[in-house]
Amino acid sequence: MEIAFCRIDDRLIHGQVATVWTKVTGCNRIMCCSDEVAQDAMRKKLLLQVAPPGIKAYVVPVEKACEAYKNPKYAPFKTLFLFTKPADVVRAVKGGIPFKSVNLGGMTYKDGDTLISSAVAVNQEDVKALLELRDMGIEVEIRKLANEPKGDLMSALQAKGLV
């Protein structure tokens, strides 16, 4: 399986992903990787329905995504991997998916979070996972829209006193 792109966006498949990121990445598959979402029948059904025409979508637990990545029968797939949180990307890398770059595109603000860009709010667990990805040699860039310049994770975290 070829990795077309890896994005963290807690909305998973939505308008921007369906209309722009799929075209920019040239993917023919979308894999939403989340243990929680894979167990939520309603959310899973909705995500599968909003996949763009001609692109097959899956909603799977992180472990199953790792298994699929390693399975030769999926070799023809050029996959856009979507995650809801950085810790799941760490699990995927440790499970054998060799991401070289991760796009931090959208994480909704919740009480106690710190906003590090117009679309990304993080908590301490997120910061720990993002730093772990960086320490693994994986580029983590902040970018909501495909036509925006890549934002630097470390600069954003430092500006908010998180590192």
Q: Quick one: which of 110, 113, 121, 127 has its CA closest to 144?
A: 121
pLDDT recorded at residue 141: 97
User: What's the average pLDDT block by block, 10 residues per block, for the chain (163 residues)?
Assistant: 96 91 96 98 95 95 98 95 98 98 96 96 98 97 95 96 93
pLDDT recorded at residue 103: 97
The whole-angstrom separation of Cα 124 and Cα 114 is 9
| Residues in CB range of 146: below 8 A, 6 or more apart | 16, 20, 21, 24
Boundaries of domain holding 150: 2-159
CATH number at residue 137: 3.40.35.10
The whole-angstrom separation of Cα 20 and Cα 23 is 5
pLDDT recorded at residue 138: 97
pLDDT recorded at residue 15: 85
Residues with a catalytic annotation lie at 14
| Residues in CB range of 40: below 8 A, 6 or more apart | none
Give the number of domains in the chain. Answer: 1
Ramachandran angles phi, psi of 39, nearest 5°: -90, -10
